[in-house]
Structure 1
């Protein structure tokens, strides 16, 4: 396999991030999760249930945990613990430094479809939150993994919840956005769209949520005041990412779109010429990092949407990368975890 890193310059602009490959770590199977960074370690999981902790500085394996099913979503960091989900509904809590198991939630023996988890966890108020194919949002204790409460949406849930501003924020398949009390699982307020809603994001006191009907919305959390609603023209397949005064989303038709954070006006759209964008775009150092369905990482100028760099992997990019300390950490279905500087 040949890896290609193409660096494109225009107008003499100089970027601290250069697109240079720092290291590559080879996993046992395709990387299926998003990437998290904590305590000098890069955390990502693969399709056979391994969670890897790789040293950010060197790319050497610090430790690995062997699970039984695909690791999904982004591992959640809570203090010195990492909590992650597997597709069979198992939620595991490990010590970040050592990989030692603190606890594990194993679903009861019911139908596989009901227990399936297709996205990751969120953490807050000493709880971990996740959704399953049975249509329920679960809150479990971050101390021991015991179920504390459930919220029943009435329809299968496929997008991870988020936790911010003292609320559990949930996008539902039935086109409903819900703000839920983390204490008891009661729905406090919400909104709606014409299609399934992805994982919400929060910035500056506003919650942003996107939908498969092409809409992106912003609502002020305090007072529940709608700010704006826009449409990017394609089904939106990713959670919004907010950075640099803009909101970035990916679409089912292979596009990356940028909207103004203040009013929702569509600023630009970039066509990856590939399949559906599954991974949430990431912003850093004036750049947008977005994985295309064909396995290419596109690095765009956040101001204009112009392509600055491309990095080709040997498989699809199904999980979101992480940008930390000036380094982009990326997982691919080719089984590699990359550090690009």
Structure 2
């Protein structure tokens, strides 16, 4: 099924013909690799002091608090999106047709922004702005402090893809099959490129390239500046897994049940790993391993270089949740209703938390706390049992969910 193409499938976007080229004359993006590369901020606030580092009892307290509820916040609806934690605020969407901002320490509500349909897109928060999609077909930019709308961009269908911000541009996929580039400050369309199916996956942007999957079964690499296609790789099923990029390789799952490792520059297949069912979970890379869930009910750890399985952990239902890694522990939810904390090296469970309903969103760890949403509309803040914050590739790239250590403002 491998196919590297220079001119792949060409389709129309919802409101008109496919647009390739920059439509915003006020400000053009420079297609320089360094412009799109961001690193975790070494100054990420941390609650650990020097005395704590020397105090073994601090680690004991962390372990005792693992999986315990610090607070919970109910949106009053079902479902929701992965949470993002920036500036002491947790932001997440909900099927109550709204976006919610709550205090990261207390869980107190700060503001609520209403849309006209479900919100399953995960928010990107950067430069004081929340960017998020809604099933009402809009991409919204919201002031992170006040919850007031800055701009809204309308598409032809739902937006369940989670936006990615790079430089002065927002990138997002639409249910109309289009990949959009918008001006981050004004919401004006820069370009739009059509694919052959709805897009649920979220884009990853690095080295001046936008990587994204589509229900048409392809993984696309597009120029971040113009939308021009660099390559397209065909899989055997819809691609709802979002890509992660590490070490010059794109890792992405497909509805054909395989995890693919593709050369980031050319799209050539390096290896593939077969699971027992579709992969809708988005992979992340940490400590030389790729971690990804499968509809066969397992979380897999795969050697990033060779594609060999290192271990697998079985749950009692599909794993749609996208894992995150912090301090030697991988956190992932399952549709069996539990959040799991698993050793990255052994694959053994450290602890589990009963969230009462599907946990199909991506958790994120910030300063010894893991934040996650449940399908019953609850946002949880739990003791993570480890020091620090998420440090995996997905958090570093600012896709699906992230924290204040992602320097995505450019």
TM-score range normalised by the length of the shorter chain: 0.7 to 0.9
SS of the aligned residue for 1:93 comes to strand
What residue is the counterpart of 2:50 in the other structure? none
Give the superposition deviation at 1:294.
2.5
* Number of residues of Structure 1 aligned to a counterpart in Structure 2: 284
What residue is the counterpart of 1:173 in the other structure? 175
Matches within 5 A, 1:49-198: 58-107=66-115, 114-197=116-199, 198=201
Give the superposition deviation at 1:201.
0.6
**RMSD of Structure 2 on Structure 1 (CA):** 2.2
What is the CA deviation profile of residues 264-284 of structure 1, one whole-angstrom value per residue up to 9, with x for unaligned ones? Answer: 11122222112x322111111
Rounded to whole Å, the distance in 2 between the matches of 1:38 and 1:309 is 33
What is the CA deviation profile of residues 276-323 of structure 1, one whole-angstrom value per residue up to 9, with x for unaligned ones? Answer: 322111111111111111321111111222211010112221221111
Q: Residues 116 and 132 of structure 1 are in contact (CA less than 8 Å); yes or no, is this contact kept in structure 2?
A: yes
Structure 2: segments with no counterpart, 5+ residues = 1-43, 48-61, 344-410
Question: Taking structure 1 as reference, are residues 126 and 190 closer, same or farther at Cα in structure 2, changes over 3 Å only?
Answer: same
TM-score, L = length of structure 1:
0.77
Rounded to whole Å, the distance in 2 between the matches of 1:221 and 1:158 is 20
Give the superposition deviation at 1:39.
5.9
Task: Tell me whether 1:310 sits opposite 2:312 in the alignment.
Answer: yes
What residue is the counterpart of 1:4 in the other structure? none
Give the superposition deviation at 1:209.
1.4
Give the superposition deviation at 1:104.
1.4
What residue is the counterpart of 1:8 in the other structure? none
Q: Residues 293 and 319 of structure 2 are in contact (CA less than 8 Å); yes or no, is this contact kept in structure 1?
A: yes
TM-score, L = length of structure 2:
0.65
Question: Taking structure 1 as reference, are residues 38 and 241 closer, same or farther at Cα in structure 2, changes over 3 Å only?
Answer: farther
Rounded to whole Å, the distance in 1 between the matches of 2:45 and 2:210 is 25
Task: Tell me whether 1:247 sits opposite 2:255 in the alignment.
Answer: no
What residue is the counterpart of 2:336 in the other structure? 334
Give the superposition deviation at 1:223.
5.9
SS of the aligned residue for 2:147 comes to coil
What is the CA deviation profile of residues 195-239 of structure 1, one whole-angstrom value per residue up to 9, with x for unaligned ones? Answer: 223211112332211111222222343465543222233321111
Question: Taking structure 1 as reference, are residues 65 and 179 closer, same or farther at Cα in structure 2, changes over 3 Å only?
Answer: same
Q: Residues 121 and 160 of structure 2 are in contact (CA less than 8 Å); yes or no, is this contact kept in structure 1?
A: yes
Q: Greater RCO between the two (CA within 8 Å, min separation 6)? A: 2
Rounded to whole Å, the distance in 1 between the matches of 2:212 and 2:181 is 12
What residue is the counterpart of 1:205 in the other structure? 208
Rounded to whole Å, the distance in 1 between the matches of 2:109 and 2:176 is 36
Task: Tell me whether 1:268 sits opposite 2:301 in the alignment.
Answer: no
Rounded to whole Å, the distance in 2 between the matches of 1:61 and 1:284 is 26
SS of the aligned residue for 2:80 comes to strand
Give 1 or 2: higher helix fraction: 2
What residue is the counterpart of 1:256 in the other structure? 259
Structure 1: segments with no counterpart, 5+ residues = 1-36, 41-54, 108-113
Rounded to whole Å, the distance in 2 between the matches of 1:182 and 1:71 is 27
Rounded to whole Å, the distance in 2 between the matches of 1:164 and 1:295 is 34
Q: Residues 283 and 291 of structure 2 are in contact (CA less than 8 Å); yes or no, is this contact kept in structure 1?
A: yes
Question: Taking structure 1 as reference, are residues 155 and 58 closer, same or farther at Cα in structure 2, changes over 3 Å only?
Answer: closer
Question: Taking structure 1 as reference, are residues 95 and 174 closer, same or farther at Cα in structure 2, changes over 3 Å only?
Answer: same
What residue is the counterpart of 2:236 in the other structure? 233
Moved more, 56-65 or 196-205: 56-65
